[in-house]
Structure 1
Amino acid sequence: MAHNNTPSLIALAVAAGLMSPAFAADKKADEVMVVSGSRMEQKLEDVSAPIAVITSEQIEEQVVSNVADLFRYEPGVSVQGGAGDAQTFTIRGMSENRVKVVQDGVRQNDAYKNGGVGQTYFDTDMIKQIEVAKGPASAAYGSDALGGVIAITTKDAGDFLKGRDSYLDATTGYASSSHQNMAGFTGALRTGDFENLLRYTWRDGGVTQNYDGDKNEFDIVSQAVLFKSKWNFNDDQFLKLTVDYFTEGQDPDAVDLTKAGSVFNQPITDKDTDNVSVVLDHGIALNAAWVDRIDSKVYYARTKQTLDQYASSKYPVNPRNPYVTKNSLDHNGFEQESLGAQVKFSKALDNQRLAWGVEYEHTDNERTRFKAPTVPGDFVGYSELSFPSTTSERSAIWAFDEIKFGERWVLTPGARYEYYKMTPDEDPAYTGDKLQKVSEGELSPKLGLVFKAHEAANLFAQYSHGFKAPMYDNAFSTLNHQAYGYRIEPNPNLKSESSDGIDLGIRGSAGGFSYEVATFYNKFEDFIELAQIGTEGRTAVFEYQNLDKATTKGVEAKADYWLNDLVNVWGNLAYIDGKDGDGNYINSLSPLNGSVGLRLEQPNWNINTALRFADDMDKVRQDAKGNDYIKSAGWGVVDIFAQFKPMQDLQLNVGVFNLFDKEYVSYESITGLAASSSTTNLTEPGRNLSARVKYVF
C-alpha cells in the first residue's frame, strides 16, 4: 500500500482547506426535535442537558459506510473498532454495556466482547436520526444507561413519500478503508390507508485496515432488510409492523496458527451473526380528560452469533500427566432472545406536558463453547461454560413532566423505578452453592431546568441518576481453569453499578451564530471488577465484586457561524478528566479532542473540509507493578467530502479522509495496553476514499 503525498494532492488540500468547509448543523436548536431527554418530543432548546443529534442528511454527506464513521465529528462520543470488529460505543469514558443502545424504542443486544459480540448489528443506511444522551440516563431508559444512551430512529415510508404515492431509489458505493462495495434499494408505496417501506442493503468488503494495510484480512458480507407497514385507521389511530433483519458472515483469507506468545496469530475459521427484531406499534389519540394519546408496542428481538476458532490450551489427558497442551477447534455460540411490551401515555395541559408509562422485558441469554480435538484421540471433546444460560426480567414504571413558567422557564422532573431479576440455569460442572438468582430494584430520578434569559443565552442545568444491573457473565461466572491455576466463583450478592451526574451549560443562537457550552461532573459507585478472594491448594479463586468508585468531570463546546448564505464555519471540543476511588487515572477516558471545519453550500452541491485532532494522552494509571500503561501521541488529520446533485434525481457523494496520509493511533484503540505493546496493528487507516451514488426513479 503506497503512502505518498504528491505535490498535486497537497496543493489540492491546501486550496480546499482555504475555500471549502465541513459538516455544520443545518437547523437551529428551536427546530431540532429530540425524544431521548425525557421520552417525549422536545425542542432541543428546551432540553436541560447536551444531546448530540446525527441526521440522515449528515450520514449521507459524510459518506458513512460503517458505524465507526457516525461520530467522526462528535466530541465525547466514539465507536471502538472498525469493520470486522466487535464494535461498542463510548460516551464520556463509559463504554460497552454501560452505554445503552435502543433502536425505535427497543433495547439492542448486550455486548460480550470477550466472545466477539458487539453492539452495532444494524445498517447505517436506514437511520433517520441518532440522538446521544450524554451522562446518566436511567430515568428515561433504565438499566445500562449508566453513562449515556444511543437512541436510533429508523426511517418510515412517510419520510420518502412526502405527498407521493410511490418512491423507488437505488444506491451503490465503495469505501477503500475496508475495500467495501455496497448496493441497495429503497421502495415505498401508499395504497389506501397503508404505507409500506422496504429497504435492502448488501455490503461486501473486509476489515478496516491499519495504516500499513497488513491486518489479517477477512471477507465480510452483510445483508440488511428493513420492512415497515403502517395502517392508518384514521387521523387518530395507526398500527405499524416493523421487521428489521441484519446478517453478517466473516470468512478469513487464511488461518495463521503461528504464535505470538501463547496465542495464535489468526485462529478464526468462521464467524456468523444474525440479528432480527419484529415490532408492532399502536398509537391512538383519545383526547380524554386524563390522557391525550396512548402509544404501545410489543416486540421480539434475537441476536445469534457463532464463532469457530482454533485454541491452544491445557487439557486433562492422563493421571500421571494431567495437563498437557493440545490444540482444539472451538465452536462458540452466543444467543440472546428478548420479548417485551411498552405502554406510554401522554397529556398536554396549558403550560405543562406529561408522559408516563410501563415496560416489561423477558430475555434469555445463552453462551456455549464446545472444544473438540484437532487430532483425534488427543482428548475427549467437552463443553466449557463461562457462565450458565440465564433468564433476565425487567419491569419498570416511569414518568416525566415538562412545566413551563411563562416564556422563559422550563422545568422537567422525571423518575423511573425498575425491578430486575436474573435466574441462572444449572451448570453441571459447578458444584458450589453460589449459583442463585439475583434481584433488585432501583429508583432513578432526574431534574432539569432551562432558563431562556435571551435568544442568545439559554441556561440549562440537570441532575440525573444512572445504574447498570450486574451482567450475567459477572454474577454467574463458573469458569474453572485449574490447569492455569485459577477459577471464578459466582457472586449472587452483586449490586448494581450506579452514577449521579450534574450538567451545567449555556446555548443560544443569533444572527447566524449558534453555540453550546456544557460542563459536567459524574460520580460512579460500585463498579464491578474481578478480585481474588482466596486460594485452594495451587488454585487462585476469583469473584466479581463491587469494588471501585470513580469521578469524571469535563467540558464540551460546539459552535457554528454562517458568514453568509454560502459559507459556514464550525468547531467543537471535548475535555474530560477523572480518577477512581484510589486516586488513579481512568484509562478509558479520551484525551482533549475536537474538530473544526468550513462548508460551502448551494442548493445543488456542498463541499466540506474538516480537521479532526486529539491531544497527547499521558494521564494513564499504573499496573500492579507500578508501571504506566500505554500513552499516545497527539494527532490531526484533514478530511474533504462533497455532495453534488447534477440533476434532480441523481445524488453523488464522495469523501477523502486522512487526506495527508498521516500515520496515527487513536488512544481509544490502545487504552489499557502495556507500555511496551506494539501499536502497528492498531493504527488508523491512511488516506482513504469513500464514494456513493443514489438515483431516485
Structure 2
Amino acid sequence: MKKMNLSMNIKNIILTTASLVLAVAFNANAASDDSLDDSVLDDSTLNEVTLDNVKITASGQLLNDVAQPIRVLSKEALQEQNGDTMGELLSNLPGISNASFGAGVGRPVIRGLSGNRVKMTINGTDSSDVSAMSSDHAPMVDAANADQIEVIYGPNTLRFGSGAMGGVINMADSRFHEIPLEGFEGQVKSSVSSADSGTNVNANIDAGNGSWAMHLDGFSRNGENFRAGNGETIKNTSTDSQGVNAGLNYIQQNGNAHGIALSMLDYEYGVPNEDDDKAIVDPSQVRFDAQSIVYSLPPVFEQLKTQFTYIDYEHGEGTDGVVVGLFDKTSSELKTTLSLASIGGWQSDIGIQLSQQDLEVCHDHGGCPDIPNYSDLSWDGEQGSNLSNNVIDGFMFSHDTPMPITNTQDIGVFLIMERDWAFGLLELGARYDQRAIEADPVSILPSYRQASDYYDDKTFNSVSLSAALTWRLDKQKLGVSVSRSQRAPVADELYWNGDHHATFSFQLDNPDLDIETAYSLDLTWMYEALDYQLQGTAYYYDFDGYIYNDLKSMTDPFHGNVVYRNEQKDAWFVGTEWQFDYHVNENLQWFIQADFVQARLKEGSNKNLPRTPPLTTSSGIKWQANNWKVTTDVKYYAEQTDVADNESTTADYSVVNFYAAYTQPLQKSSVQLYLKAHNLMDEFGRNHVSYLKEYSPVVGRNVTLGMTYSF
C-alpha cells in the first residue's frame, strides 16, 4: 500500500509541475514583446563550451583547473544519448560501459571497475541505494532533469570516499541555488520511442526574487517489453518510473547560500530470465537534503560548505505476482568541507564525512510479517534454514533470511591540495576512513548460528593517497596521476547467504573478506592544433586483495540456480582510451574514439576476470548550422573471448545511431524538435558486462521523437 500511494502521489505532483510550468511559460510569452532573444537559441542548440566556463559542481572547481581529466556531459549532450539509465547515458564516453540488467537497470562501469568501486552521488552526496549490492538493483540517480553529469578521477575522488577506485559519477541539478535568481526559467520535454512503445514527459521550473530561489521538477516515464535486433520481444523488460524534486534556497547579499530539498523517486521494472517468469523489482526512495555555503569567514578561510542527507529506501522483489523479498535501508550523511585561503601558493580543502546506514533484508522463508513463509510447502523456511544438511564443496547454503540486520558507520577525513607550478598544476589528496559494521543475527535461523562468531562485528581502517601533476606545453598538455586507494568490504559482501530471486541466482557469503588495496598509474596526453584535438590515456591498476563476484560451477540445492561468491585475490587492470576530433570547417566535425581494458588475476589456471568490457571503437560526424544540429555515428563492440571460468563469450556487433534537432526561437523562449534513431541497422548483440547477456540482448532499432520547450 505504501508503494502504491507513493507512486500515485508522485504522478500527481508531476502533473501539477507540468501544468505549472506550462502556465508560467505561456504567460511569459503573452507578456513579452515581439523581439527575439538570440541567447535562448544559443543555449538550446550549442553543446560546445569553453573549458573555463564549465564548473564541476561536486568540487566547485573549473574543468580546466584540475590535473586529472574530468568528463562532463551537459544537459544538451544528455538529450542526444540513447536510453535513460545512468549506464546508458554515459556509455558513449571512452572507458565507460553499461552494466545493464534489462531495460530498467544500467549502472556505469569505468575501466572495467564496477559496483562499490564506482561511487554515484547527487550534488556531491551519496545516492545511498543498494545498486552496488546486486546487478538487478537500479541506482536511485535519475538524469531526467539533470543540468550535467560529471565523471571524476584522481585526487578529487577522495572528497566522496576512499573506495571510488574507478571514479565518481556526480549528477548535478538545480535543486540548490548558489547564485541569486531573478524571475523564472524552465523547460518541458516530451518524447515517444518505438522499440518499447515508450512515453516520457518531464518538466522543471526555477523562480527567484534575488534573495529566495525555488526549484521544482518532475518526470514520468514508462515502456513496454522491448524488441531485440532479431525481432524477438524480450519478456519482463517493461518499465514504469516517476520522480519529483523540490528545493528552496535563501541567498544572502554577502554570498552565503542555504537551501533544503525534498526528492521522491519510484521505479518498477521487469527482470528478464531464462524461464520467462514474471519477475518485478520496485524500488522507491524519499530523500531530504540540506546545504549551507558560508563565505563570511575570517581571512584565512574562503568557504565553509556543509551538506546533510537523509534517505529512506525500500524495494520489493516478486515473481509471478508474489512478493518474495524486501530490502529496507535508511541512511544519513553529514559532510563539511572547509576551503582555506592560499598559503604559499597552495589552495586547500579540509573535510570530514560521517555516514550511517541501516540495512534489513527479508526473504520468503524468513517468516517476515509482510512476506508469506510458504510453510505449507515441502521446502518451507524451517527446513531450508538447516545449513548443516546443505553443504556443497564445503560451502553452507541457507534458505532463510539471507543476511543479518546490519548497521554500518563510516567516518572519513580528507585533505585536497593544489597549486600552480612553472609548467602546470599539482594536486595532492589524502583520506583516512574507519568503517564499523554491526551485525544483528536475530533474524538468522537456525538459532545456533546467532550465538556463533560468524556474525561478529567488524572494523576496517583504510588510508588512501593520490597525486596528480600536469605539464602545459605549446599546444600540448601532459599529465600523470598516481594513487594508493583502499576499500573496505560492505555488509552484503561479507554476510549474504541466500537466494536472490530477481536474478535467479544464489549468493554465498564470505565473512573473511578484508580491505582491498589498489595502486594505480594514470598517464594522459592532449595535443590541440588549430583544427583538431587528440587525447590519449593509459592506465594501470595493481590490486592487493581484489574482491570480485565469482561464478561457481555448482548450482544451489533448493532451486537449481547458478551460484556466486565474492572472492578476494590479487589482480591487475591495464587499459587505454583515445579520442580524436577534427574540425573540417566551422559547421562540421569528425570524431573517432576507442577504449580497451584487460583485467587479470595474478594467479590461477584461468586468470581472466568476469564481465570485462570488450574493445570498443566509434566514429561519427557532427554538423551544426543555424537552427539545425545533426549527429551520426557507428560504434563497434569487439568479441570478448577472454572470459573467466564458467563465463560465456560474446560475439562482435555494431550499432549505428542518428540524431537531428531543429530549434525555433520564440518570444523569450524556444521550441526544439528532435529525432533519435538508436541501432538503426537493427543489429543483434549481447552486452558482455551484463549478468543477463544470455537472456536480454541489446535493444533493436529504436526511433525516438521528442519536443523540448524552454523559456
TM-score band w.r.t. shorter chain:
0.7 to 0.9
Aligned counterpart, 1:321: none
Cα contact 1:40–1:355 (8 A) shared by 2 = no
1:375/1:401 CA distance change after superposition, 3 Å: closer
Aligned counterpart, 1:265: 276
1:32 to 2:62 alignment: no
Q: CA deviation at 1:170?
A: 2.2
Q: Which amino acid aligns with 2:576?
A: V
1:149 to 2:168 alignment: yes
1:136/1:306 CA distance change after superposition, 3 Å: farther
* 1:654-693 per-position Cα deviation (integer Å, ceiling 9, x unaligned): 111111222222322369x8xxxxx4x3321221111211
Q: CA deviation at 1:210?
A: 2.5
1:238/1:373 CA distance change after superposition, 3 Å: closer
CA distance in 2, matches of 1:136, 1:630: 37
Alignment of 1:184-263 (within 5 A): 184-211=202-229, 212-217=231-236, 219-250=238-269
Aligned counterpart, 1:614: 637
Cα contact 2:151–2:168 (8 A) shared by 1 = yes
- Aligned to 2:213, the other structure's residue is in SS state strand
Cα contact 1:464–1:501 (8 A) shared by 2 = yes
Q: CA deviation at 1:199?
A: 0.5
TM score, norm. by length of structure 1: 0.81
CA distance in 2, matches of 1:376, 1:414: 58
- Aligned to 1:525, the other structure's residue is in SS state strand
Aligned counterpart, 1:587: 610
Q: CA deviation at 1:378?
A: 5.6
Q: Which amino acid aligns with 1:421?
A: A
Of 385, 390, 398, which aligns to 2:406? 390
Larger deviation, residues 99-108 vs 69-78: 69-78
Q: Which amino acid aligns with 2:469?
A: L
Aligned counterpart, 1:604: 627
Aligned counterpart, 2:439: 424
Cα contact 2:638–2:653 (8 A) shared by 1 = yes
1:242/1:594 CA distance change after superposition, 3 Å: farther
Aligned counterpart, 2:286: 276
Aligned residues: 620
Q: CA deviation at 1:641?
A: 0.3
Over aligned residues, Cα RMSD in angstroms? 3.3
CA distance in 1, matches of 2:513, 2:332: 25
1:403 to 2:425 alignment: no
1:353/1:143 CA distance change after superposition, 3 Å: closer
Q: Which amino acid aligns with 1:686?
A: G
CA distance in 2, matches of 1:251, 1:516: 40
Q: Which amino acid aligns with 2:190?
A: T
Alignment of 1:164-203 (within 5 A): 164-203=182-221
Alignment of 1:104-503 (within 5 A): 104-111=123-130, 117-134=136-153, 139-156=158-175, 164-211=182-229, 212-217=231-236, 219-250=238-269, 264-268=275-279, 270-309=280-319, 329-349=322-342, 351-371=345-365, 372=372, 384-406=400-422, 408-427=423-442, 428-429=444-445, 430-431=449-450, 432-454=452-474, 456-477=475-496, 479=498, 491=511, 493-503=512-522
Q: CA deviation at 1:400?
A: 0.8
Aligned counterpart, 2:585: 564
Q: CA deviation at 1:133?
A: 2.9
Alignment of 1:486-565 (within 5 A): 491=511, 493-528=512-547, 547-565=568-586
1:178/1:235 CA distance change after superposition, 3 Å: farther
1:208/1:359 CA distance change after superposition, 3 Å: farther
Aligned counterpart, 1:642: 660
Q: CA deviation at 1:331?
A: 2.5
Between structures 1 and 2, the one with greater strand share: 1
Q: Which amino acid aligns with 1:636?
A: S
CA distance in 1, matches of 2:87, 2:704: 14
Q: CA deviation at 1:143?
A: 3.9
Q: Which amino acid aligns with 2:354?
A: Y
Q: Which amino acid aligns with 2:433?
A: E
CA distance in 2, matches of 1:277, 1:191: 26
- Aligned to 2:689, the other structure's residue is in SS state helix
CA distance in 2, matches of 1:56, 1:565: 22
1:106/1:158 CA distance change after superposition, 3 Å: closer
Aligned counterpart, 1:315: none
Cα contact 1:641–1:655 (8 A) shared by 2 = yes
CA distance in 1, matches of 2:203, 2:135: 30
Q: CA deviation at 1:164?
A: 4.9
1:174/1:489 CA distance change after superposition, 3 Å: closer
- Aligned to 2:603, the other structure's residue is in SS state coil
CA distance in 1, matches of 2:649, 2:567: 28
1:667 to 2:685 alignment: no
TM score, norm. by length of structure 2: 0.80
- Aligned to 1:33, the other structure's residue is in SS state coil
Q: Which amino acid aligns with 1:27?
A: V
Cα contact 1:64–1:124 (8 A) shared by 2 = no
Cα contact 1:80–1:90 (8 A) shared by 2 = yes
* 1:19-48 per-position Cα deviation (integer Å, ceiling 9, x unaligned): xxxx99713444433366xx451433x433
Aligned counterpart, 1:12: none
1:75/1:343 CA distance change after superposition, 3 Å: same
- Aligned to 2:681, the other structure's residue is in SS state coil
Aligned counterpart, 1:696: 710
Cα contact 1:136–1:145 (8 A) shared by 2 = no
Aligned counterpart, 2:389: none
- Aligned to 2:78, the other structure's residue is in SS state helix
Cα contact 2:434–2:459 (8 A) shared by 1 = yes
- Aligned to 2:690, the other structure's residue is in SS state helix
CA distance in 2, matches of 1:65, 1:307: 22
1:369/1:300 CA distance change after superposition, 3 Å: same
1:509/1:669 CA distance change after superposition, 3 Å: same
Cα contact 1:28–1:509 (8 A) shared by 2 = no
Cα contact 1:117–1:305 (8 A) shared by 2 = no
Gaps of 5+ in 1: 1-22, 312-328, 533-537, 624-628, 674-678
CA distance in 2, matches of 1:656, 1:581: 43
Identity over the aligned pairs, expressed in percent?
18
Q: Which amino acid aligns with 2:405?
A: S
Q: CA deviation at 1:614?
A: 1.9
Q: CA deviation at 1:443?
A: 0.9
CA distance in 2, matches of 1:645, 1:235: 38
Cα contact 1:478–1:488 (8 A) shared by 2 = yes
CA distance in 2, matches of 1:592, 1:156: 38
- Aligned to 1:551, the other structure's residue is in SS state strand
Q: CA deviation at 1:141?
A: 2.4
Q: Which amino acid aligns with 1:588?
A: R
Q: CA deviation at 1:396?
A: 0.8
